[in-house]
Copies of this chain bind each other. A is one copy, B any other.
């Protein structure tokens, strides 16, 4: 960390500030005196320091990190890509995960049918919402516990590991037992209570980026989970909120190279929620693969027009089959592949 002092700060004030900081944090501070300004250089662990707090000091002009505030998620300390393995399928490295399924689990017939369809096309995971975060308290909130049971039936019939979103802290034990990858939704990305609880488990976590979260905040949310001892985190970009309303959100594909540079964690893309438009799923999947994503999560419904939620963005199984086929070709360009059970 570098702290630039105000030009009005006196020598005495500067020494006093240095003393205060060194007694509060595990750091050494070196004073470098310039002609107009004094600059303080920090050596040590600055991850617990809040730069805005330092800047509050009337003697300080500006504080800036010269190192990212995350540690366990930082590629600097873990140069190799993390590869998460679930049920024999790899996510990361050269292996691309294709997670497919309906927005909501609606019935046994529906979820089993979709699961069988996407399995046949080559999907590696089954997704489906049992607990649904809905803007309105009067809207369908998902089949909840029954939905989880139906997902388990679909897993049994197809062998596909299941990915589903958690909303209630009191259901964690059940999720740990029943679910293969636990999803944290965009609205809960900074639900620190939930992040801490999931950090205590050893389950793979799919962490969606918040609607208006910066890349750094998103990695810091992963850091919350990892700080608890669970380093099985998969990041998922699902669109950010901008002024543009043609698409529901704006898919930020530059997050892929950004995450690859800053972190070793795998990153997957959710083109369905990002755009809210079925016709964009195909081109955005291809773009995601070409940009280096480790996977995609796609909504597939056997009858999109009747879907109890988010129908407009769902593909039919036939459309999905075409998309995954094309994805294979794009993956092959740089010698990657959709992961298969070994």
Q: Are B227 and A138 in contact (CB under 8 A)?
A: yes
Query: What is the CB-to-nearest-CB distance from A268 to chain B, in angstroms, rounded to a whole number?
Result: 15
Of A76-84, A107-115, A119-127, A300-308, the segment with at least 4 beta carbons within 8 Å of chain B is A300-308
**Cα(A220)–Cα(B139), bound, Å:** 11
**Cα(A214)–Cα(B241), bound, Å:** 10
Determine whether A333 belongs to the interface, using a CB cutoff of 8 Å to chain B.
yes
Name the residue on B nearest A189 (C-beta). Answer: B187
Q: Are A64 and B62 in contact (CB under 8 A)?
A: yes
Interface residues of A in 266-306 (CB under 8 A from B): 274-276, 279-280, 283-284, 286-292, 304-306
Query: Contacts of A19 on B, CB cut-off 8 Å?
Result: none
Interface residues of A in 23-74 (CB under 8 A from B): 30, 32-37, 39, 41, 43, 47-50, 52-53, 55-59, 61-62, 64, 66, 69-71
Query: Contacts of A191 on B, CB cut-off 8 Å?
Result: 187-188, 191
Query: Contacts of A253 on B, CB cut-off 8 Å?
Result: 251, 253, 284, 287
Of A90-98, A153-161, A175-183, A254-262, the segment with at least 4 beta carbons within 8 Å of chain B is A254-262
Query: Contacts of A20 on B, CB cut-off 8 Å?
Result: 306
Query: What is the CB-to-nearest-CB distance from A158 to chain B, in angstroms, rounded to a whole number?
Result: 26
Determine whether A252 belongs to the interface, using a CB cutoff of 8 Å to chain B.
yes
Name the residue on B nearest A227 (C-beta). Answer: B137
Determine whether A86 belongs to the interface, using a CB cutoff of 8 Å to chain B.
no
Query: Contacts of A276 on B, CB cut-off 8 Å?
Result: 52
Which of B4, B52, B193 is in CB contact (< 8 Å) with A168?
B193
Q: Are A32 and B39 in contact (CB under 8 A)?
A: yes
Query: Contacts of A188 on B, CB cut-off 8 Å?
Result: 191
- The 22 listed contacts between A and B (C-beta, < 8 Å) are A30-B34, A32-B34, A47-B138, A50-B134, A50-B136, A53-B311, A56-B305, A56-B313, A57-B305, A62-B64, A69-B136, A71-B138, A135-B217, A136-B223, A167-B192, A240-B244, A243-B243, A254-B274, A254-B275, A329-B333, A330-B333, A333-B333
Question: Which A residues fall within an 8 A CB radius of B?
Answer: 2, 4, 20, 30, 32-37, 39, 41, 43, 47-50, 52-53, 55-59, 61-62, 64, 66, 69-71, 133-140, 167-170, 187-188, 190-193, 196, 211-212, 214-217, 220, 223-224, 227-228, 240-247, 250-254, 256-258, 261, 274-276, 279-280, 283-284, 286-292, 304-314, 329-330, 333
Q: What 5 additional pairs, Cβ within 8 angstroms, besides A53-B309, A57-B311, A290-B291?
A: A52-B310, A211-B212, A215-B246, A246-B258, A257-B279
List the 6 closest pairs (A to B, CB-CB), nearest first: A56-B311, A212-B212, A56-B312, A290-B290, A34-B41, A286-B290
